[in-house]
Amino acid sequence: MTTIHMDSSISQTATRAVLNGGVLSCTKSSDKDVYSHSIWATESNIRQFTMHEGDSIVIPPGSTLTIWIFRKQPGQSTWTMDFELKEKAA
């Protein structure tokens, strides 16, 4: 299992390969209006999901996963979102 912590003061995006597939879960957000667009892409398919705290998506084998975090009312604040990526064993 891989933990991904995203902080808007550092970066609002993360990208990584998910070779064997797995499940991405949003475990925590700093506020109720924080959400992500989580996108997986394979050679033949691409899907985008809007995720909030408590949501999960299945990622197919051979995917590239990109996560962007957003806030509906950002103002001058920073925001965070935590994810767990459970990859299938090879």
Query: What pLDDT does 23 receive?
Result: 97
Domain ranges of the chain: 2-87
Tokens of 43: 């050679």
Level-2 CATH architecture, domain 2-87: Sandwich (2.60)
pTM: 0.91
Give the integer Cα–Cα distance in Å for 41 and 18.
10
Tell me, what's the pLDDT at 1?
87
pLDDT tens, per residue, the chain with 90 residues: 899 999 998 888 999 999 999 999 999 999 999 999 999 999 999 999 999 999 999 999 999 999 999 999 877 789 999 999 999 987
Q: What is the pLDDT of residue 76?
A: 79
- Measured distance CA(75)–CA(26) in Å, rounded: 23
pLDDT for the residue 34: 95
Neighbours of 86 (CB within 10 A): 13
Q: What is the pLDDT of residue 73?
A: 84
